Every structure is written in structure tokens, then in C-alpha cells.
Amino acid sequence: MQISEDTALQCSKVWEQITRAVVLIITAVVLTSCKETPVKYYVCDTDKENCEVVAKFDTLWACERYKIFASAYCDSESMPGKIICDTAEESVDITSYCEKKTSDKK
């Protein structure tokens, strides 16, 4: 059985999205179980109302770098041994942001 090039491309894109979701979930589980951290990475729905913390960081810089990586599409199958990442050309229905906790000193 042979599949068309369009079907293969669609399957590849779906696989990339699944891979990205798995990486985000694993990273979130590892990072949220660590010590208290001042910077949190939130992912929200399309209405920007339901936001959840999916990762925590010590620095705002680390969070912003993670945000860039999390929004990229990565492929390692077309060139085994080499991971190629590219940012999405079309808009995604997910909003994410980093927020640093301010100290409560008086």
C-alpha cells in the first residue's frame, strides 16, 4: 500500500505536534515538581481565560527561551541525527507567557 505525498506530509505534521506536546508535558512534570521558583510559564486557551502553569524557572531569561522552543516545530526524521526546528508560519490558538513573582517585602 502506498500513501500520497500529501498524506505523508499531514502525518508528519501531526507527529511533530504530538512530539511537541509530549516534550511539553514531560518538561512541565519535571519542572513543576522542583523547588519554589520565581518565574512561571503559563499556557492559556484561545479566550486567554483558562491559564495553567506548565513550567517553572529560576530566571525570566530561561522562561523566555523555553517559550521560544515550545512554539517551534521540530523534525528529526528527515535528517536522522540532526534536529531541525522552525517556528510556526500560521497562528496557533494557544497563548503563553512568562511571569515573574514579585517579592512581598514591605
pTM exceeding 0.85: no
92: Cβ–Cβ under 8 A, 6 or more apart, which residues? 71
Q: Where are the domains of the chain?
A: 5-99
pLDDT in tens, 62-94: 999 888 777 777 766 676 777 776 666 665 566
